Structure 1
Amino acid sequence: MRLRVAPLALLKRLALRLLLIAAVFWGGGIALFSVLPVPFSAVMLERQVSAWLSGDFHYLAHSDWVAMDKISPWMGAGVIAAEDQKFPEHWGFDVSAIEKALAHNERHETRIRGASTLSQQTAKNLFLWDGPQLAA
């Protein structure tokens, strides 16, 4: 005699398996690209698709990755100094700058102040596109 599985239980099992597969791919991607150059970002993908949609089939979004030991240490220090002066002092989130930005934005709603760090900018450029974002 064959037992029937309730459709809801079957859906639940399928959803859990899909979630597990997604988590494995997500975690694997993070582990892989923590040691290898990222082949493309959401911004690059958006620009490539936009070019194709506008009929420009010659455009190719690409990056020429260069190993850190091939870049002058002064160049790296200059980029960090220009973008995030407190980078050596925090672990990706400048909590004091975020608190100051929140307080400023509550007082001055028309002039918004940001507090993104290099880590946050990198994540934004990898996972988000240039277009409008959802408001928080």
Structure 2
Amino acid sequence: MPRSTRRISARTGYRDRHGRGIRSAVTGPHLPMLRTRLDFFDACVASAVEYLRALWPEELATVRFDIAASPPGEPGADGVDRWRVDARRRRVVLYRIPIQRLAHLHRDDDWHRRSYIESCVFRAVAELLGKDPWDIAPERYRHF
């Protein structure tokens, strides 16, 4: 059975499932929305892709970004893939589970998780464009 992939999009927090109409959040209207790892990952990837499309509009205009749970098949000699780039089809697939679970962060907080996810997006785009990852967004992490 093929693994499912999702297109990158902004999540609204509400959904129309099986034609039953829009459903509200489980937390109700008075509490903040529950934030899952899936929502956090989607938001990080979407913001990084939006940022890169603004920097490289012509190069990334026809590129399709997808998210899959994990890579198909067995791990290769280099380990588990975090992304796959298909230059011919102009497609980048990011694998959520390896990116989230195999990261060895020195501090496990939202900022470091977001930075790691963004770095995977930047490296995948750099591979697609045939550039060095540092040339993709040189001003991104310059905080001085």
TM-score for the superposition, normalised by structure 2? 0.30
- Greater relative contact order (Cα 8 A, min sep 6): structure 1 or 2? 1
TM-score for the superposition, normalised by structure 1? 0.31
**Larger fraction in strand:** 2
**Larger fraction in helix:** 1
Larger CA Rg, structure 1 vs 2: 1
